[in-house]
Structure 1
Amino acid sequence: MTEPAASFWLDRAGSWQPPDPGVLPARADVVVIGGGMTGLRAAQRAAVLGAHVVLLEQRALVGGATGRNGGHVVAGPADSTAETVRLLGMAAAREIWDFTLHTVNAMREFVAAEGVECDLRFAGTAHLAFVEKELAGFEADAALLQTLGIAAQPWSRAECATRTHSDAFIGGLFYPHGGQLWPAKLARAVAAAAARAGARLHSGVQVHAVTADGAMLQVQTSAGALQARAVIHASNGWARRLLPELHNVLVPVIGQVLATAPAAHMWDFGLVANDGYEYWRQLPDGRIVLGGMRWRSATMGRDCDDDTQLDAETSAALRAFLPAHFAALAALAVEYEWSGVMCYTPDAQPLVGALPGRPGEYIAAGYTGHGMPLAFMAGCCVAELALGAPPTITANAFSPKRFDSTTL
């Protein structure tokens, strides 16, 4: 199938030879569909638990959203905490914060234990307001975060100007736990760990259908059929292709990201503005990675899982953003630009768990553009569920059961 434009993360990650999986077997205990962070982590955890695991990726491993995002890892819900409390309640908001904080800590422990060089650092993330409505939202979040015991620091207009080197922002909310990383490098390390544990990772294999076959599941692929005791759907923005009943629940959304030439040092921390529609960070070598602006597209990128094209309006807006708000970056060249497929859900929370009406099938998908602080443990959770192992952590707010037949 057609490959999208190379992302900075994938192009500059260095040479990598994925483990040779051999010939596609006829049977497996667990088949994982999707070779990004979720699927690789699910494969690794299931293999460690003793299962015969086969992972199937339609393109190259780490070639989807994991290798094509903005490189942020910030605990918390995809929506604001205030909006999450309004929609789901305080207990669910606390559960989501606990899950994402656990995920970030698990990633940090894996990186340390495996000696992974993926530029993981926790220099904080600043959420910045252009207008009063955003600032009021930050104030509501700050009050709730204090109740939840989550550290967050309000920034005044003057502090924003000092810390960001721009007068564009009227205030902000700084999350000191916010992190940044080179996502493709971390995912490659998870792939290596999965292979060492015995998982077989097959790239270039497209799954056409999953059907019941007695006590087993039949997985039809472009490389032939195989049987499995359990199937884990971990293809995020492509998941609804195999799960038509979730067509209105798992909505693919295209996002665009660019990387500039190296610039003088501006920020150690990550930055987010316009209610999350723009997000950027500076790499140690001075390059700036900026994503967002999909609101400039007529469709806002919704209902599209084709990441081989770039939207011209979004591209123009991205290229204008840094010069418009940071005088020091007026002449900065763009070296890379790419797109990636995200997956949004109606309540901005992922689906993690057993699929209703599909015995033996599980899902971890629908991160609503917020996959890095979720996927690592979401993959672990579904692997444990599929094998009946004691759960490391759970999140009832992510249960697929919340979307019943009247919602789908």
Structure 2
Amino acid sequence: MTSETASSLWQQTCQENAAFPEFTGEAEADLVVIGGGYTGCAAALQAAEMGATVQLIEAAEIGSGGSGRNVGLVNAGLWLPPEDINAELGADSGNRLSALLGGAPQRVFSLIEKHRIQCEPVHTGTLHCAHAPAGLKDLQRRHAELAAIGAPVELLDRDEAVRRTGSAAVHGALFDPRAGTIQPLAYVRGLARAAAAAGAQLHMHSPAAAIRRDGSSWHVSTPKGSIRAKHLIMATNAYARDITGYETPQVIPVHYFQAATDPLPAALQGKILPGREGCWDTALVMSSWRLDQAGRLVIGGMGALNHFGSALHRNWLPRKLAALYPELKDMPLRSHWHGRIAMTTEHLPKILDLNGGLACFGYSGRGIGPGTLFGAAMAETLLTGDRARLPVPPSRSHAIAFAGLRSAYYETGATLTHLVSNR
């Protein structure tokens, strides 16, 4: 693993093992999957359960990208509210996507139960918290739009939000009972285990070096072998590497960092998030917090921990913790880590048509439910030929102007915010 996750809490507490051999030699398959995150493992599992032969190759380890660095919030829907989605996709496609993603948490928790994935599942909802009185306007809008499409969301006043979170720093919240929390690395490793049990062949430390299309087949080369397959899925998202013969779609890389306390005393666990909902706020530079199975409070915010200004992020964390929960102001934070998010300008996930293959990327911070859904849907689509199974219409190309500058803008904004906030 890289230094980004060397001290990750998820690495330390993962109960799922995912040891797969390096790919060597030659193989043929119905489907080759490149990438061992939520999308790739869900695709491999779905295809194997449909009776297809599957080869999945991962450049590092299962979950070494964003899937193993996630907050672990199994959200329903996207960051965008429904009407914004419809403005981008049109009402028919937008409403369909919102409905599919509204059911994504149930898909995740059903897979966890079916395959007995040891990933600390808590299906008690999430709380989108107003960080200030002005944040209630955004939550009111989201509540109205979600309720209009039948989502069972509830707008909580300040008193109820304070009771649910145990924090006087929140000014209301939007409760979504469809959602929940998981140990994110354990979930993706559990998906990999389930895919292998269904017959898929998975390989770690096997980066795709080159791909090419030859008639009706894909040829994928790795450092020590090659795979020939009828269908291909590219599932590398924010952690794409250079591959000869493949033009990596542009995304805006945005980072998110986290740390965790020691397990809270039992008395505080009864007060702080007593229902174990996962939380995030309405601030422009978002932060999140939740409890894990042992009662550790996991807190995070936008930003990377691998540059000269990252000390500002680390110094902000205890101030934010104390602002939320003054009783935790002296509690040390451990296991600092960060991960990379693939954003698109529209904040919508994209599917690219590769002529016999599909690529998916751009979950914009909502990887667990959408990744699981999109991975399975792409596998179904390629094996059946029914493109109506795709959650969004595929595109032929994707480009973002000044993606690197936009990434720097987000990181600079987060760094400056963490310099001055919660003092």
TM-score, scaled to structure 1? 0.86
Of stretches 138-147 and 93-102 in structure 1, the one that deviates more from structure 2 is 93-102
Aligned match of 1:192: 193
| C-alpha separation in 2, matches of 1:210 and 1:402 | 17
Aligned match of 1:47: 48
Any residues of structure 2 matched to 1:1-400 within 5 Å, and which? Answer: 2-4=2-4, 5-14=6-15, 16=17, 18-20=19-21, 23-239=24-240, 241-242=242-243, 243-244=246-247, 246-247=249-250, 250-263=251-264, 264-265=268-269, 266-267=272-273, 268-273=276-281, 274=283, 277-294=286-303, 311-352=310-351, 355-356=352-353, 358-388=354-384, 393-396=389-392, 399-400=394-395
| C-alpha separation in 2, matches of 1:210 and 1:15 | 31
| C-alpha separation in 2, matches of 1:95 and 1:156 | 30
| C-alpha separation in 2, matches of 1:392 and 1:246 | 23
1:237 is paired with a residue of what secondary structure? helix
8 Å Cα contact 2:131-2:171 kept in structure 1: yes
Superposed CA deviations along residues 101-156 of structure 1, whole A, max 9, x for unmatched, are 33222222222222223221221211111234421111111111221111122222
| C-alpha separation in 2, matches of 1:284 and 1:389 | 42
Question: Relative to structure 1, is the Cα distance of residues 193 and 332 closer, same or farther in structure 2, using a 3 angstrom cutoff?
Answer: same
| C-alpha separation in 1, matches of 2:19 and 2:307 | 23
| C-alpha separation in 2, matches of 1:329 and 1:89 | 46
Superposed CA deviations along residues 152-183 of structure 1, whole A, max 9, x for unmatched, are 22222232333323332222222122211112
| C-alpha separation in 1, matches of 2:95 and 2:105 | 15
8 Å Cα contact 2:217-2:230 kept in structure 1: yes
Identity across aligned pairs (percent)?
Answer: 28
Q: Which runs of 5+ in 1 are unaligned?
A: 295-300
Alignment-mate amino acid for residue 330 of structure 2: A
2:368 is paired with a residue of what secondary structure? coil
8 Å Cα contact 2:36-2:57 kept in structure 1: yes
Alignment-mate amino acid for residue 66 of structure 2: A
Offset, 1:309: 10
Offset, 1:26: 3.8
| C-alpha separation in 2, matches of 1:91 and 1:214 | 35
Superposed CA deviations along residues 272-303 of structure 1, whole A, max 9, x for unmatched, are 11257111111232101122132xxxxxx6xx
| C-alpha separation in 2, matches of 1:280 and 1:24 | 45
8 Å Cα contact 1:259-1:289 kept in structure 2: yes
8 Å Cα contact 1:233-1:239 kept in structure 2: no
| C-alpha separation in 1, matches of 2:18 and 2:366 | 28
Question: Relative to structure 1, is the Cα distance of residues 288 and 82 closer, same or farther in structure 2, using a 3 angstrom cutoff?
Answer: farther
Of stretches 235-244 and 258-267 in structure 1, the one that deviates more from structure 2 is 235-244
8 Å Cα contact 1:42-1:379 kept in structure 2: yes
Question: Relative to structure 1, is the Cα distance of residues 399 and 163 closer, same or farther in structure 2, using a 3 angstrom cutoff?
Answer: same
CA RMSD between the two structures = 2.9
Of stretches 369-378 and 114-123 in structure 1, the one that deviates more from structure 2 is 114-123
Offset, 1:24: 4.1
Question: Relative to structure 1, is the Cα distance of residues 6 and 24 closer, same or farther in structure 2, using a 3 angstrom cutoff?
Answer: farther
Question: Relative to structure 1, is the Cα distance of residues 276 and 369 closer, same or farther in structure 2, using a 3 angstrom cutoff?
Answer: farther
Superposed CA deviations along residues 351-378 of structure 1, whole A, max 9, x for unmatched, are 23xx34x322211221111011111121
Aligned match of 1:298: none
1:41 is paired with a residue of what secondary structure? helix
Length, aligned pairs only: 392
Runs of 4+ displaced beyond 6 Å: 306-310, 404-408
TM-score, scaled to structure 2? 0.84
8 Å Cα contact 1:138-1:172 kept in structure 2: yes
Q: Which runs of 5+ in 2 are unaligned?
A: 404-423
